[in-house]
């Protein structure tokens, strides 16, 4: 995951990262508009706290047009992103999940995106190698496999309205 590309290496964007609310299907049925999210537990992924400005429920509610919402800070906090996603999948609430981590569960129907509103991280996952190595048969084979593995993440993001983080 990088925010800028190193000039002296070959680099190729594989997918752009974003966060989006996800919930179990039975919880998602209750979430028709942004204000509905305030009635269920909000799961927080603290593994991305290093991003500035913060990429959290407060930012999501602002992007959804509700402005600053004090209740956006309530709810369990997880130091591992997959724990927040697992909690949402079990029906305990709604998680603001990274697309790269939630995509397979969304595609499989274990998680639902109640509202197609997300936040763009402004970063991307890239393949990086020494210039010229990308043409090596083994590296090219690996890169082709990587492209195939992550194409679903960008396909998912294409179905969303992604807001950039405020500067």
For residue 162 the two structure tokens come to 């992604």
Paired sense of beta strands 117-130 and 161-164, if any:
parallel
Residues 59 and 67: their CA atoms lie apart, in Å, by 9
Terminal Cα distance for the chain, rounded: 20
Phi, psi of 138 (to 5 degrees): -70, -40
The partner residues of 112 in beta bridges, in order of sequence, read 23
Residues 117 and 19: their CA atoms lie apart, in Å, by 9
- pLDDT tens track for 99-120: 999 999 999 999 999 999 999 9
For residue 33 the two structure tokens come to 């508009």
- pLDDT tens track for 57-114: 999 999 999 988 889 999 999 999 999 999 999 999 999 999 999 999 999 999 999 9
The predicted model scores a pTM of 0.87
User: In the chain, pLDDT over 70 holds for what percent of residues?
Assistant: 92
Band (150; pLDDT cuts 50, 70, 90): very high
DSSP structural state of residue 50? T
Question: Are the C-beta atoms of 43 and 72 separated by less than 8 Å?
Answer: no
Question: Are the C-beta atoms of 160 and 20 separated by less than 8 Å?
Answer: yes
Angle at alpha carbon of residue 129, lines to 127 and 135, rounded to 5°: 95
Q: Which are the contacts of 65, defined by CB distance < 8 A and separation ≥ 6?
A: 34
Number of CB atoms found within 10 A of residue 88's CB: 29
């Amino acid at each position: 995951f990088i925010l800028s590309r190193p000039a002296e290496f070959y680099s190729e964007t594989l997918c752009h990262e974003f966060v989006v609310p996800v919930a179990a299907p039975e919880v998602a049925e209750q979430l028709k508009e942004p204000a509905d999210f305030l009635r269920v537990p909000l799961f927080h992924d603290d593994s991305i706290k290093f991003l500035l400005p913060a990429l959290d429920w407060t930012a999501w509610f602002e992007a959804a047009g509700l402005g600053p919402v004090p209740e956006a800070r309530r709810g369990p906090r997880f130091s591992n992103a997959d724990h927040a996603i697992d909690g949402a999948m079990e029906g305990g609430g709604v998680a603001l999940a990274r697309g790269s981590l939630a995509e397979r569960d969304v595609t499989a129907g274990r998680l639902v995106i109640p509202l197609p509103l997300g936040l763009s991280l402004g970063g991307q996952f890239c393949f990086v190698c020494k210039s010229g190595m990308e043409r090596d048969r083994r590296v090219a084979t690996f890169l082709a496999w990587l492209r195939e593995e992550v194409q679903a993440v960008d396909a998912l993001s294409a179905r969303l309205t992604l807001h950039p983080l405020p500067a």
